[in-house]
Amino acid sequence: MRATLMHKAHDVRIENVPDAAIKQPTDALIRVTRACICGSDLWPYNDQPETPGGRPMGHEAIGIVEEVGGDVQRIKRGQVVIMPFAYSDGSCMFCEEGLQTACVHGGFFGSPDVGGAQAEALRIPQADGTLYPIEADAEDALMPSLLTLSDVMGTGHHAAVTARVRPGGTVAVVGDGAVGICGVIAARRLGAEQIIIMGRHPDRIALAKEFGATDVVSERGEEAIARVRELTGGFGVQSVLECVGSAEAMETSLGIVRPGGAIGRVGLPHYAAIPGAEQTFFGNIIIAGGPAPARAYIPELLADVMEGRLDPGRVFDRTVDLDGVPDGYRAMNDREALKVLIRP
């Protein structure tokens, strides 16, 4: 079958690899009908060292179940399923608490062992706990929005939840990538009154405004902090959705959060320590977030997508087949595309 492998930074190839196959009786095999490129895929796209054999890429997918292992009970052949970016057994104490990304038998897609979703097919460990069957045809017009429940919309929602967005609250979203845009959608959905999008790409800002952003801050660093304070009576916001992961984004987040406020981190941190230990202490700032338990959020978000109240699929502004994936990486990295959808 054909799959996406990253050999080193800026070297993404579509190659023939051994067919994905069931290895464990708890596995399922899916044919990937939709996948996409994640903002987090751009980190290795820019810094991955030479990797012998290449690293399988992709961790977001919708697919059709082609085969299930002998111990799989709930998932059936032929179902259309959402695949969250982490696999999980669905039964350990962390899964029961809704923190599937900490599952004791869990892990993440896009690794040499499990394979990546930017491919024709994929082995799904812990299929019963991982996959979420949906009542939709594989070619349903809602597919782009449904695909976002695999990661990006769940991640934006997690940023909003961990940043404790509340009805009537004030929110800043750091980063205008697809996760940031989904953060705006989530903040609006949770009832925030003021939603400040921090970014500088006109088309993304325009989309964020359509989704409910009330203010735009395009400055950076200290100037950005000053602008957010101006917009919030000098105090800063109650909720910061940190959707980037850089040291600068974290510093900005700390600068714009008001006392008693919370920072929901969903950008993969590229900094070793969280600065401002005293400042966050005296402000009673809450620092939270991490990999989103996308699986836990599917039920509530799915209802809104199916009933037309939420259309996060609009973050996709380009569609490619597998051959178009390498250029899709380039386009996202050049900020030419916001998020690239893949039809393998």
Q: What is the 3-state secondary structure (H, E, C) of 46-85?
A: HHCCCCCCCEECCCCEEEEEEEECCCCCCCCCCCEEEECC
Query: What's the closest the beta carbon of residue 274 comes to a copy of itself, in angstroms?
Result: 4
Considering Cα of 223, then 229, then 234, then 239, what sign does the dihedral take?
negative
Mark out the alpha helices in 64-171 (DSSP H runs). Answer: 93-96, 127-130, 143-148, 152-162
Please identify, among the stretches 132-140, 277-285, 300-308, 333-341, the one whose residues bind a copy of itself according to the rule CB under 8 A: 277-285
Whole-number Å distance between alpha carbons of 185 and 211: 6
Region from 94-102, 110-118, 133-141, 211-219 binding a copy of itself, contact rule CB under 8 A:
94-102
Does an H or E element contain 171, and which?
Answer: strand 170-174
Report the nearest approach of a copy of itself to the CB of residue 148 (Å). Answer: 20
186 binds a copy of itself (CB under 8 A): no
Q: Residues 235-274 vs a copy of itself: string with x where CB under 8 A?
A: ---------------x--------xx----x--xx-xxxx
Tell me how far apart the alpha carbons of residues 107 and 293 are, in angstroms, rounded to a whole number.
12
Can residue 282 be called a binding residue for a copy of itself (CB under 8 A)? yes
Residue 107 is a binding residue for a copy of itself (CB under 8 A): no
Bridge partners of residue 56, in order along the sequence: 5
Alpha carbon distance 193, 212 (integer Å):
9
The answer to whether 277 contacts a copy of itself (rule: CB under 8 A) is: yes
What count of other Cβ atoms lies within 10 Å of the Cβ of residue 101? 23
Q: Does 228 bind a copy of itself (CB under 8 A)?
A: no
Please say which residue, 72 or 262, places its beta carbon nearer to a copy of itself.
262
Any contact of residue 194 with a copy of itself (CB under 8 A)? Answer: no
Q: How many residues bind a copy of itself (CB under 8 A)?
A: 33
Cα 69 to Cα 83: distance, rounded to the nearest angstrom: 17
- Please tell me whether residue 280 binds a copy of itself under the rule CB under 8 A: yes
| Site membership for a copy of itself, residue 283 (CB under 8 A) | yes
CA distance 13 to 277: 43
Could you tell me if residue 254 is left (phi over 0), alpha (psi between -120 and 50 degrees) or otherwise beta? alpha
Report in angstroms how near the CB of residue 288 gets to a copy of itself at its nearest: 4
Indicate which single residue of 212, 288, 311, 330 sits in contact with a copy of itself (rule: CB under 8 A): 288
- 284 near a copy of itself, rule: CB under 8 A: yes
Q: Considering beta carbons, is residue 33 or 238 the nearer one to a copy of itself?
A: 238
Alpha-carbon dihedral sign for residues 212, 216, 220, 223: negative
Q: Is residue 72 a contact residue for a copy of itself (CB under 8 A)?
A: no
Q: What are the residues binding a copy of itself (CB under 8 A)?
A: 94, 97, 99, 101-102, 162, 250, 259-260, 265, 268-269, 271-278, 280-291, 293
